Chain A
Amino acid sequence: MANYVEAFQDGLRAVEAANRAKHEVKEVFDELNKQLNMETNGKLRVVLRQFEVSELSWRRYENIFAPKPKQYYWAIAAFNPDAGEASMKELAQWSQDRAGYPCKITWAGTESICEDRIALEEALAELLRDPLVAETLVKVMKRECPEKAEEKPEDNKE
């Protein structure tokens, strides 16, 4: 006969392990943001966000052949807190196992499957080193808040 009590206890332990792993992932992003915040004077914040699948993305292309099209996907994104959510730009696609790890980061034709904290930290550092990602981050940092942008013509009046 199946031992349901043991299975239940296994499940509870799995929940704890998954929560620990998810918390660890959050800590990694917190540390990333802490360092970027200091370096950029608060002009850059990296977050996980859902994006709508675009018509031209390869996911959509594949979905021509697929009966269950996905409408949204998770991504690592960056925004300038001064400029608000309008400055949000996708950096890489993201997915995470129900157990917390592995986390999958996909960008520039590469899928990086991170099995633990060190691997995730390395993968995020590799992402930041990518020249196209760096270019996107610079653009995000240069975005200004809508009020400031409107104020500019006034500033020029003397």
Chain B
Amino acid sequence: MQISLAWWNTSLSPLGKPRATEQEKAFAVQVVRFLTEALGVDCLALGEVTAADLGDLLQESGLRDYAYHDGTLRFGRLQFDTGLIYRLTKLRVLHSLSIVTKRGNHSLKVANRVDLLAPDSRSPLHLFVSHWPSRLWCEENGANRHLLGIRLRDAVEEVSGLYERQPSTILMGDYNDEPFDSSLSGQLLAARDRKLVRKNPQLLYNPFWRHLGEQEPHIPGKPRESVCGTCHSRSGLTTRWHTFDQIMFSSAFLGSNEWELDERGTQIVRIPFPNGGVSSSRNIFDHYPVASVIYRETQHGKLC
């Protein structure tokens, strides 16, 4: 059995404020349909959505065996803007929790934790969906970004504390930080080195280290269209591309537990967005979805 996971920052309603035109909403529906039907995504986490967006995307996509989990909680002045669309035959939601860290009068959204259970599974999948603040409001490598990494790490360790072995924990979202930034590599301890992660199971594995550069190689005389990240900004001194959208895994997914990561399914999904794509200022879509796959071996309908 496999479960396909994806994250997409839709750009429909940043901070819970709807801004999409009818055409843009219709295109978002097409993206959700493509991800669920063509890519077979079973668990699609979405960012910059409202509860109404989640309902509309589910209904307009005509997904009959899917449901949505609304994570768009308002907490004081803070507005969570993520949610999940998940396949009912493969997953059910056990529990959810929105995690906020507060320093002085300032609050930061750490993650929405959603515990999911697959049929006949021995243990839940603990999913942490994050949409960290933009670098416009929370500076690169600033103290608040470190704090977000530290508190997300604490939340992961709290789940680990419930088990004797490493649990199945998946983190996904738009961190507005690259895999190499201190918040993710230094504080969250999301590493690129699988061997080291197996040796030190406290580390997380971040397969999106492999998606930092150009997706296609340069071939002499044959220039190819490529992307070198998950989102595009209009300006940048040395890059306009960033790999802010990532999916990370606890060490259990590297072969020590029930579920295993199938990294062949880890990818940036290059959706042909209208009006010039993610690099164009003529549409709201500036993030590609990212996807990954986990696999569980079964024999004769029973767990191995």
Contact = CB atoms under 8 A, between A and B. Distances in A.
B100 A112 contact: yes
Interface in A60-87: 61-63, 65-68
A96 interface: no
Contact of A111 (B97, B115, B124, B147): B97
B163 A66 contact: yes
A123 B102 contact: yes
Contacts of A122: 76, 102, 105
A30 to B, nearest CB: 20
Interface string A129-154: 00000000000000000000000000
B166 interface: no
Contacts of A126: 75-76
A61 B93 CA distance: 13
Contacts of B75: 110, 112, 126
Main secondary structure of the interface of A (DSSP, over half): mixed
A123 B100 CA distance: 10
B98 interface: yes
A58 interface: yes
A33 interface: no
Given A62-B115, A65-B163, A122-B105, A110 B94 contact: no
Contacts of B184: none
Interface in B81-99: 94-99
Contacts of A118: 104-105
A36 interface: no
A21 interface: no
Contacts of A65: 122-124, 162-163
Contacts, number: 67
B73 to A, nearest CB: 7
A118 B105 CA distance: 7
B110 interface: yes
A111 B147 CA distance: 15
B65 interface: no
A115 B105 CA distance: 10
Nearest to B111: A111
A114 interface: yes
B300 interface: no
B211 interface: no
A77 B14 CA distance: 36
Interface of B: 73, 75-76, 94-105, 110, 115, 122-124, 147, 151, 154-155, 162-164
Interface of A: 58, 61-63, 65-68, 102, 106, 109-116, 118-119, 122-123, 126
Give 9 nearest A-B pairs by CB, closest first. A119-B102, A66-B162, A115-B103, A113-B101, A111-B99, A58-B95, A118-B104, A110-B98, A65-B123
